[in-house]
Amino acid sequence: MTGAITDLSKQAPPEAITTEICIIGSGSGGATAARLLAEAGQEVVVLEEGGDFVGPQLTQRDGAMYDQLYMDRGGRASHDLSVSVLQGRVLGGGGVINTCDVVPIPEGVLHHWATKYGLEDFAPERFARFKDDALGDLSASRIPESLINTANNKLRQGAEALGLRGEVMLHNRVGCAGLGTCLIGCPINAKRNPRMVALPKAIAAGARIFTRARAVKIDKAGQELKEVTVRTLDPDGYHEQSKLKVRAKVVIVAANAVASAQLLLRSGIGNEHVGRNLTLQPQLPIIGMFDERIAAFDGIPQSYAVTEFEEEDNAEFGLWGYRIEAIMGTPGIVSSLLPFSGVPGMEGMAQYDRMAASLLLVPDAPSGEVEVARDGRLTIHYEQRTDHQERLRHAVETAAKTYLEAGAREVLVPTRPSLMIRSAREARQAQQLAFAPATAPLISAHQQGTVRFAASERDGGADLNGQVYGTRHVYVFDSSGFPTSASSHIMTPIIASSRMLTTKLLTRI
Ligand SMILES: Cc1cc2nc3c(=O)[nH]c(=O)nc-3n(C[C@H](O)[C@H](O)[C@H](O)COP(=O)(O)OP(=O)(O)OC[C@H]3O[C@@H](n4cnc5c(N)ncnc54)[C@H](O)[C@@H]3O)c2cc1C
Ligand code: SF4
């Protein structure tokens, strides 16, 4: 049997669908599970609230693409607007709009989870085969020298001059033409993401995929046949339209750490851990301003990372320290991150082709919570801890020195008030950054931990099979289960973990 993608904004849905397995979310976690389950002969339905965008439908226009490809049109943020919380909202999920960095869970983190949290399936030797399979799904390879652009090379040049450890990253592109718009989708389908790999295989094996299908509630979680209430959306995904019930013996929630917890909370499913222990991994951009043309928008945005200060086996937190990675955004996003408006803003953007930007990736300890009010309104509470601020200041200082060493005229820290650093001595001013709420453009691309996996119900929201405590056959297969930050980039960890959990599920159904 061959499955299909059905756009429910264009086709009237039936009143109800009955299936063996219903998967909510079509990203790295959901698509991987859909593929493996369908290939094993299971009847699979996937619900995805985003639309399907491939090839030239990914128009490289940032206004329209952020609107269509990001959750809440890219406007989601923590309760006090301190952290912009970004998530894909499209068939294939975040893999469609991410920068293709492939970073598996480091051995130190796997060991930390197995020993400190009792997650025995994540012990390095047991997890190795799932990591290898995930790398295969992604066609992972080292980014070739020919595709490393000037902006990334500037970061590398500065790091090498300062004697800092760094690396050219692995990626999941095949046939990349260096068009530079990864963050709003690849118009030539060069990303080996869930939309291009797992979902076609799932469909070939019979999975039925529904887009513009938002799961709003899971009822009868304790019964043999669970009931998912679905609202179809209009073609642009703005408004809810008709209603549909999906009945399934197994429900897998893989909607991303925030959305998965939101759905469970709205459904009244799970214990007191659901929604808690959120990590956001807030990242801060920093911009080296050069006199020469850099054209950071040309080519792969992110290929080099300074890893000197990253710790993979911190005894208390697992992943700790920080890393610095080159990045570039489209003009819309860069102009919104500059701490100027009016004429200074225009003058700043006039230097767009002479900027080399980086993200300071600073892992955090769980310090947030997803809350859903009675009226369904979502709030993401998040407190930035002082240990996060301290490492962020250190990272600003290091990144500024690195760009200055590579020949930058000055380095802009886009906080309010902004900081302009022109010498290694001035870089010490980073120590004065206060990071008061909403004064720094902190970005979260890696939400984790809201339904923590734990061997005992006392310590987490889901068991070692990913089954939500208090339910039978309701699971979370995404980063919700990660007890601490899995990696500096979490697509590969989610695929590997979903592969492991799906393999276990297949022995139990
Ligand atoms: C800008 C950006 C850049 C990133 N860069 C990298 C990178 O380079 N490398 C890396 O490893 N990671 C990166 N990440 C992170 C990575 O892409 C995500 O963590 C990963 O895609 C998450 O996978 P997931 O399956 O958990 O969720 P997602 O991929 O987010 O998929 C969940 C899907 O569920 C859908 N959904 C949500 N709620 C519902 C509902 N109620 N009903 C139906 N559908 C629903 C959403 O629309 C979404 O498509 C990046 C993330 C962002 C935002
Ligand atoms: S840089 Fe490569 S992968 Fe990214 S959008 Fe351009 S062609 Fe696609």
Establish if 312 belongs to a structural domain: no
- Specify the residue with its C-alpha closest to ligand 2, atom 2: 176
Q: Yes or no: say if 277 and 450 are a contact pair by the CB < 8 Å rule.
A: yes
Q: Tell me the residue range of the domain where 30 lies.
A: 1-54+85-138+187-277+448-509
**Could you tell me the CATH number of the domain that includes residue 459?**
3.50.50.60
Ligand 1 site, residue 209, Cβ cutoff 6 A: no
Short-list 368, 365, 366, 388, CA closest to 378: 368
What percentage of the chain's residues is helix, strand, coil (to nearest 5)?
30, 25, 45
> For the chain, what is the total number of helices (H) and then of strands (E)?
11, 24
In 3-state terms, what secondary structure has residue 363? coil
- How far does residue 299's CA lie from ligand 2's centre (Å)? 7
Distance 56 CA to ligand 2 centre (A): 12
Asked if residue 48 is part of any domain, the answer here is yes
Sequence-distant (6+) residues with CB within 8 A of 449 are 257, 277, 278, 279, 366, 479, 480, 481, 482, 483, 484
Residues in the chain predicted with pLDDT less than 70, given as ranges, are 1
Closest-CA residue to 361 (of 401, 310, 437):
310
Residue 64: inside a domain: no
pLDDT of residue 376: 85
Question: DSSP for 59-121?
Answer: -S-HHHHHHHHBGGGGT-B-TTS-EEE--B-BTTGGGGTS--EE-PPPHHHHHHHHHHS--GG
Q: Does residue 262 form part of some domain?
A: yes
Determine whether the shortest distance from the Cβ of 52 to ligand 1 is under 6 A: no
Q: Is any atom of ligand 1 closer than 6 Å to the C-beta of 372?
A: no
Give the pLDDT score at 336.
85
**For residue 163, is it within any domain?**
no
- pLDDT value at residue 128: 98
**CB 449 near ligand 1, within 6 Å:** no
Total domain count, the chain: 1
Residues paired with residue 203 on neighbouring β-strands, in sequence order:
none
Q: How far is the CA of 405 from the centre of ligand 2 (A)?
A: 29
Query: What is the CA(180)–ligand 2 centre distance, in A?
Result: 5
Residue that the structure tokens 């128009």 belong to: 59
Separation CA 83–CA 440 (nearest Å): 8
Cis peptide before 339 (omega within 30 of 0): no
- Closest ligand (CA of 215): 1
Judged by DSSP in three states, 402 sits in: helix
Contact status, residue 440 vs residue 415, Cβ threshold 8 Å: yes
Pairwise CA distance, residues 220 & 136, whole Å: 37
Identify the pLDDT of residue 351: 94
What pLDDT sits at residue 379? 98
- Determine whether the shortest distance from the Cβ of 479 to ligand 1 is under 6 A: yes
Check pocket membership of 256 for ligand 1, CB cut-off 6 A. yes
Each residue's pLDDT tens digit, 103-127? 999 999 999 999 999 999 999 999 9
| pLDDT at site 337 | 83
Q: Does a structural domain hold residue 332? A: no
Q: Please write the tens of the pLDDT for every residue from 270-295.
A: 999 999 999 999 999 999 999 999 99
Alpha helix (H) residue ranges in 316-441: 331-337, 342-349, 386-405
The answer to whether position 471 is within a domain reads yes
Q: Looking at the domain assignment, is residue 100 inside a domain?
A: yes
CA R_g for the chain: 22
Q: How far is the CA of 109 from the centre of ligand 2 (A)?
A: 30
369 lines ligand 1 (CB under 6 A): no
Q: Which amino acid is at 504?
A: K
pLDDT for res 341: 85
The pLDDT, as a whole number, for residue 1 is: 58
Ligand 2 atom 8, closest CA? 186
Mutate to test the pocket of ligand 2, among 152, 179, 491 (most ligand atoms within 8 A of CB): 179
Q: Which residue in this structure is represented by tokens 């100027």?
A: 340
- Ligand 1 site, residue 478, Cβ cutoff 6 A: yes
Q: Which ligand is nearest to the CA of 189?
A: 2
